[in-house]
Structure formats: structure tokens, C-alpha cells
Structure 1
Amino acid sequence: MRVIAGSSKGMRLKAPKGLDTRPTTDRVKEAIFSMINPYIMDSIILDLFAGTGSLGIEALSRGAEKAYFVDNNKNSIKIIKENVEHTGVKEKSTILFGDVQKLIKELASNRIRFDIIFMDPPYLKGLIIPSIDIIDAENVLNKEGIIVVEHDFKDILPKCVGRFIKLKEKKYGKTLISIYSEEE
């Protein structure tokens, strides 16, 4: 697993041992970033269920202004810290340990809003819709922003979740990428 493009291109990222974290493959990451390229420059990123921090780090490498990494696994937080340090994006990174829903509320109370929200939750655990619902309720996505969800192909997501509509969905092996944005 590596950074694919930008200022940190080619740098290898650490991943925790074991099956608790399922890092995004380079192939899927490359596909995601080709789909969202116009949104990246100078954007504010929220990387939920961040795992290794791969998606947020890739966005920073490609010109995002700031990334917030959220995970509830202490080992993942340790790996994210090491990866942002190694790739030279530490100054543009905020790493938060805890429950995704509580931290979204905390970010909202601090009036922090995002241009891109990445979500790569544990597969088939029912975490996607509640997470999008709290993003909607707390109004943390900017009007022109997008939510990028990486999920199992068996986890079929609805066309609409709250005020968000699915713009695009692509399958890569057993992984689906769904992109949501606010309805016009």
C-alpha cells in the first residue's frame, strides 16, 4: 500500500497486522481519486473509519488543505500518526480517537465543515446509513461537497439518504464505491 500521486507519491504506508483493518487497495484508491479529482485541490477532508489514513493522506498528497482522521481503534490511530509523519503531511492533519457519531457532533459544534468525507467502515456492520444520517443532521458537509463510501458489494445503498443523492456507483471486485452529494 502506497501513496499513488502528488507530493508524497510512492511512499509506502504502514498497515496494522491482523484482520481488524482492511486497507483500501491501490487499485480501488486510484479509481476513487480519478472519480473525485476535481474536488480535491484546497479541500477540507474528513476520513471516517480511517484505518491507516490512506484516503486522507492521498488527498493531502494531491493538494487538499487539511484532513481530519477519525477511528475508534487505538492501533489504527497509532498507524495513522506514523503514516502522516512519514509522508510529511502531519501539519495538515488532525487525528481523532473515538466514536464516529460523537466526533461528527463535536466537529459540528466547532463549526468545522468538509468538502470531501471518506467513509470506509467495517463491511456489512450497518454503519453507513447511520453515519450519513449524522453527517446530514449535523450539517458538516459543504453544499458542493461529496461523501465517498467504500463498501462491500453485498451492502446495497439506497439512491437517497437524507438530503444526499447517490451520484455514482462503481464496482471493483467485491468492493463498491458510492459517491453521494446534496440534492440540487
Structure 2
Amino acid sequence: MTRIVAGSVGGRALKVPPKGTRPTSERVREAIFSRLEHYDVLEDTQVLDLFAGSGALGIEAASRGAREVVLVEASKSAAAICQTNVTTLGLVGVKVAHDKAENYAARPVTKAWDLVFLDPPYDISEETLGGILASLVPHLDDRAVVVVERGSRSPKPGVPEQWRLITEKNYGDTTVYYYEPELPVPYED
């Protein structure tokens, strides 16, 4: 069973798609959100959760104070479960988009995301993942944090040159990478 760890709906259970997704364990989610609280990127933020699955990461962010969350899921049945979870928990400001992550990330820029989660299937090609990450560049706030979850045996994600690795942490079969945009050094005379 998957539960929200903390916040306004902490302890509440989530429905999980019966197949085709790999939910982030509660232990890993707890570690991710502990780090994000340390970075001060949860309260009153705009969050994008690509490859949402059950929506656990985005819903956890909403539970902990995110202003707006978009859960993006390509599977019609998983997107329906995301919507059921959002409705059951009564979360305001959480929307579900039934779309491929690469399509959603390539949309015209309408807002700057403060926090982005990417928890793609471990077998996604590095080329596809790199393309999605590159598409996110114009969508990020200057202080954004991008969290990428990968299998421990997968190579480190190829990220845009404008991004800096904050840290990476291993949790058994999972490695979580934290990135931020690297701000240009101001020109000085």
C-alpha cells in the first residue's frame, strides 16, 4: 500500500495502478521530501510531476504546501487513478494531464516550474530522457530543483549544460539525482 508521508493528507492511502508503473517507495519519498524541505522548495511552489504513475510524488508535494501541481501520465488507466487519488484526497490545485512526458515538456512556455519530478520507467532510453530534460530548460524558474529517479544500474542522466548536479543519493535499486539551473555569472566591469 502506498501512503502519503506527511502534510495535510499525510497518512492517507493512494490507489496504485495494478501494472505498468513502479511506485517510489515510502522510504525514498520520505528522503526526497526531507531534502526538498531542506532546499526550501515546497511551500507555495508550482510542481510538475512527469511519469506520475499514481501521482504519489506530486500529491506528496501538494500535501506539503505546493500551490499548484500537474501530474502528467501517458497511461490512460494510470492517469485515471491519479485523478481518483486527487479527487478522493480533496486536493485543490492538483491537475492531471493524460499525455506523454515528452509532449508535455515540449509545450510552449506558460509558467515557470519551481520543482520538477521525473520518475520514468527504468528502461527509458537515455536519448529520450535527455530530450525531455532539454525541453524543460525554458520552463524552469531560476531557483528550480529537478529531481530525477533512475535505477542504480542506469547511467547518470545526460542533463542540459545549464544544469548543475546538487547531489545524488542511492537507495538500493534506486538513485535519485537533484539538479538546479546554473545561473550565469553577472558581467562585471
Tell me if both proteins adopt one fold, taking TM over 0.5 as the criterion.
yes
What's the CA shift for 1:107?
5.3
Q: Can you list the C-alpha shifts for 1:108-167, whole angstroms capped at 9, x where unaligned?
A: 2xx12200000000003124322111112xx00100001001110111215853311111
Alpha-carbon distance between aligned partners in 2 of 1:158 and 1:148, rounded to the nearest angstrom:
11
CA distance in 1, matches of 2:31, 2:134: 26
- Distance change in 2, residues 1:158/1:85 (3 Å): closer
Question: Partner of 2:144 in structure 1?
Answer: 145
Unmatched 5+ stretches in structure 1: none
**CA distance, structure 1, for counterparts of residue 129 and residue 104 of structure 2:** 15
**Retained in 2: the 8 A contact 1:159–1:166?**
no
CA contact (8 A) 1:52 1:79 kept: yes
Please tell me whether residue 57 in structure 1 is matched to residue 56 in structure 2. Answer: no
Q: Is the 8 A contact 1:160 1:166 kept in 2?
A: no
CA distance in 1, matches of 2:139, 2:41: 16
Structure 1 residue 105, shift from structure 2 partner: 2.7
Contact residue 130 and residue 159 of structure 2 kept, 8 A: no
RMSD: 1.3
1:84 aligns with 2:86: yes
**AA of the residue aligned to 1:25:** S
Question: Structure 1 residue 26 and structure 2 residue 26: aligned?
Answer: yes
Residue 133 of structure 1 aligns to a residue in which SS?
helix
More deviation, 45-54/162-171:
162-171
Name the count of aligned residue pairs: 178
2:118 is aligned to 119
Counterpart amino acid of residue 168 in structure 1? T
Query: CA contact under 8 A between 2:130 and 2:157: conserved in structure 1?
Result: no
Report the 3-state secondary structure (helix = DSSP H, G, I; strand = E; otherwise coil) of the residue aligned with 2:4. coil
Per the alignment, residue 43 of structure 2 pairs with 41
Residue 12 (structure 1) aligned with residue 17 (structure 2): no
Q: Which deviates more from structure 2 when the two are superposed, residues 97-106 or residues 116-125?
A: 97-106
Between the aligned partners of 1:70 and 1:143, the Cα distance in structure 2 is: 22
User: SS of 1:40's equivalent?
Assistant: coil
The separation in 2 between residues aligned to 1:88 and 1:30, in whole angstroms, is 22
For residues 80-123 of structure 1, the C-alpha deviation after alignment (integer angstroms, 9 at most, x for no partner) is: 0011112221x211211112122123252xx1220000000000
Query: Quick check: 2:130–2:158 contact (8 Å CA) kept in 1?
Result: no
